[in-house]
A and B are shown apart, each in its own frame.
Chain A
Amino acid sequence: SQQGEEDPQALSIQEGENATMNCSYKTSINNLQWYRQNSGRGLVHLILIRSNEREKHSGRLRVTLDTSKKSSSLLITASRAADTASYFCVPQRGAGSYQLTFGKGTKLSVIP
């Protein structure tokens, strides 16, 4: 399995603003997943984007994937204080790679 590298390591924004987090990885993938972890709700799966997809939406979340650049981004629009959490990208090679390898994540703080 491989680890994604999130950037920036920390991000602080005002409530209502948009937050963008980036992820880079090294080898070819089958899909890439984003997870969120905060103290109240634990580690939660947010969205999965497959290698043949370029963009995916889920509520206020928008994920893009550029396999040629081996990168992904997560955009949270109209942020809320409850979005304060650490966000992790997890690249997956597919069959046989059931292990999720988490990096250090991006720590997002949304200030009310």
Chain B
Amino acid sequence: ETGVTQTPRHLVMGMTNKKSLKCEQHLGHNAMYWYKQSAKKPLELMFVYSLEERVENNSVPSRFSPECPNSSHLFLHLHTLQPEDSALYLCASSQGAGGGETQYFGPGTRLLVL
């Protein structure tokens, strides 16, 4: 266990659905991240939050909407997704977001968009 949990672990949704992914960290960290891992592609950073403020948005389409209500919780709201959005979505946290930090990853949510 890394101290980072994600729910649900698996999700199947249609293109017109709205769903949310949840991440919670129990490590007392101040920074949280969303990554996307597609088949046969390297991990891609999507969003970074430091002290509940978004500090990085890597040109992610607006159909992905992050929310960080406090330093322990991070959500990824999904709406009108496309089949190519099917991937493993990983959440991570680190002590700070100043750089060079070790990141601790959750188990991921495997998403399938039909």
Binding site for B on A (CB under 8 A): 3, 30-31, 33, 41-45, 48, 92-104
B45 touches A100 (CB 8 A): yes
Complex interface: chain B residues within 8 A of A101 (CB): 42-43, 45
| 8 A Cβ contacts from B42-96 to A | 42-43, 45, 48, 50, 55-56, 90, 92, 94
Complex interface: chain B residues within 8 A of A97 (CB): 99-100
Complex interface: chain B residues within 8 A of A94 (CB): 99-100
A98 touches B97 (CB 8 A): yes
**Interface majority SS on A: helix, strand, loop or mixed?**
loop
Assembly CA distance A73 to B75 (angstroms): 36
Complex interface: chain A residues within 8 A of B108 (CB): 42-43
Query: Assuming the A-B contacts A100-B45, A102-B43, are A33 and B56 also in contact, with contact meaning beta carbons closer than 8 angstroms in the complex?
Result: no
Query: Assuming the A-B contacts A30-B100, A42-B90, A92-B99, are A98 and B56 also in contact, with contact meaning beta carbons closer than 8 angstroms in the complex?
Result: yes
Assembly CA distance A104 to B37 (angstroms): 11
Complex interface: chain B residues within 8 A of A92 (CB): 99-100
**Least CB distance, B37 to chain A, in whole angstroms:** 8
The 7 closest A-B pairs by CB, nearest first: A43-B105, A102-B43, A95-B99, A94-B100, A42-B107, A92-B100, A97-B99
